Amino acid sequence: MSIASAPGRGRSASRLPLLALGLASFGIGTTEFVIMGLLPNVAQDLAVTIPQAGLLVTGYALSVTFGSPFLAVATARLDRRRALLLLMAVFIAGNMLCAIAGDYWLLMGARIVTALCHGAFFGLGAVVASALVEPRQRAQAIAMMFAGLTLANVLGVPFGTAIGEALGWRTTFWAVVAIGLVAAAALAAWLPRDIPVPAVAFRQEARSIASTQVVLAMAISVLASASLFSVFTYIAPILEGVTQLSAHGVTVMLLIFGVGLTVGNVIGGRLGDWKLMPSVIGIFCVLMPVLALFTATSHMVVPAAVTLFIWGALVFALVSPLQMRVVTAAADAPNLASTLNQGAFNFGNATGAWVGGLAITWGMAYNHLPYIGVSLAAVALVLTIVSHGIDRRRQADEAPPEPDTACADAAE
């Protein structure tokens, strides 16, 4: 039974907790992505090269991928509200360490600490969000929580970068600490105290996570994210070198892309609650030609802007359905599976960036990078179709046999 279906609960009872989860995800998303805009300032202040500073992004992603699951296991038996508040405390402490880090390695360590809470918070938060509403609204609830992540790209990252350029990069992390404190206060005030804590059987959870459908769902998440980051990692040189935009023009384009992410997040939640796997299949089928089209539209400002908006909407329309898919497929281990799926997304980020960089090293033109995104999305589409086919076969096998009408007529 969901919390929303308990006596005395209604739709309004879930809005404030979801808002608190969204505010926390806004802070987490901001601290994850704002470092990209601060890299030159960080590198200059800490006397390292830009590529070395770029490893702060890689270190964060790898910490989410491999560290968050351990934190999820450590908090598995805790009260859900207390666990989320503990994870926010880790987030706040990590960002404080970032703000006061005196050298590069201390900053790297602080980033790794901060990232530990990322996957665990989004994983557990997605399960809690889905429990706050009726079953038919679960993907929309997850999308509302992830709306904070999209708004982080639209608002948090540009403003955080501007603050860093004006007042120093450390000030940006202090601002994120303030966001974390507000989010923690909102979670403490608005999260229900009666969120059920499922019994934990780690051996059973391991079997659940190793099931074919869960593995397929996570592989799809990796490929979807890799498809995005194989191109998006190099979006600035594409827009500057191919579209011939200034630095200010690139900022505007990224804002348009961020708005597309926000719109896609809302649409994805509704599609996931309507028909989850058919919707994911449909999104991939539209995503591939849009990415392929970007190889041509990237040469012109207005067509490039339109393509970026549609691309952003499509890629983030996949997030909440894929997260819901993992939670549903791993019914015996939803918290751990949801956290692992966040690791899958981040592993896809790192993989996509590496594949795109490798292609550039081998001589691929920047405007041809979308073809790599198309190829990765095509593999994801094949896996989605396979997974959906397994579902349909299972449903057919579990359906009750139809009565033998001929025998019934003879008996009459």
100 and 248 share one domain: no
149 and 269 share one domain: no
Sequence-separated (6 or more) residues with CB below 8 Å from residue 404: none
Averaged over successive runs of 10 residues, the pLDDT of the chain (412 residues) comes to 48 76 92 78 84 78 83 79 92 95 93 88 84 82 82 81 86 95 95 73 65 90 92 83 85 85 89 89 97 96 96 92 83 72 84 84 90 97 95 77 50 46
Q: How far apart are CA 29 and CA 27, in angstroms?
A: 5
54 and 173 share one domain: yes
229 and 358 share one domain: yes
Angle (deg, nearest 10), helices 50-74 and 11-46: 140
* Residue 362 belongs to some domain of the structure: yes
* Helix locations, 233-246, DSSP H: 235-241
Encoding tokens for residue 206? 């391991």
Sequence-separated (6 or more) residues with CB below 8 Å from residue 286: 314
What pLDDT sits at residue 406? 43
- Which of 126, 154, 189 is the C-terminal boundary of a domain? 189
* Coil, strand or helix at 200: coil
| Residues 98, 177 contacting (CB under 8 angstroms) | no
Q: How far apart are CA 238 and CA 295, in angstroms?
A: 10
* Residue 340 belongs to some domain of the structure: yes
| Residues 101, 110 contacting (CB under 8 angstroms) | yes
Any idea what the CATH number is for the domain that residue 106 is in? 1.20.1250.20
Cα-based distances in Å from 303 to 253, 295, 309, 310 = 11, 11, 10, 11
Burial string for 51-81 (b: 16+ CB within 10 Å, else e) reads eebbebbebbbbbbbebbbebbbebbeebbb
Angle (deg, nearest 10), helices 104-131 and 138-151: 150
DSSP annotation of 333? S
CA atoms within 13 A on the CB side of 389: 6
Q: How far apart are CA 60 and CA 173, in angstroms?
A: 15
What pLDDT sits at residue 219? 94
255 and 179 share one domain: no
260 and 287 share one domain: yes
Helix (H) or strand (E) holding 55: helix 50-74
Rg of the chain, C-alpha, whole Å: 22
The gap between the terminal CA atoms of the chain, to the nearest Å, is: 44
Sequence-separated (6 or more) residues with CB below 8 Å from residue 289: none
What pLDDT sits at residue 407? 39
Q: Which domain holds residue 258?
A: 199-395
What pLDDT sits at residue 312? 92
322 and 377 share one domain: yes
What pLDDT sits at residue 199? 60
Q: How far apart are CA 364 and CA 368, in angstroms?
A: 7
Encoding tokens for residue 27? 């802070």
In the block, tokens 């920047």 appear at 366
What pLDDT sits at residue 236? 77
| Residues 254, 307 contacting (CB under 8 angstroms) | no
345 and 221 share one domain: yes
Query: What type of residue is 274?
Result: W
How many domains does the structure of the chain reveal?
A: 2
CA atoms within 13 A on the CB side of 90: 24
Please give the distance of CA 182 from its chain centroid, rounded to a whole number. 22
Q: With a threshold of 0.85, does the pTM exceed it?
A: no
What pLDDT sits at residue 171? 95
Alpha-carbon torsion (213, 219, 222, 228), positive or negative: negative
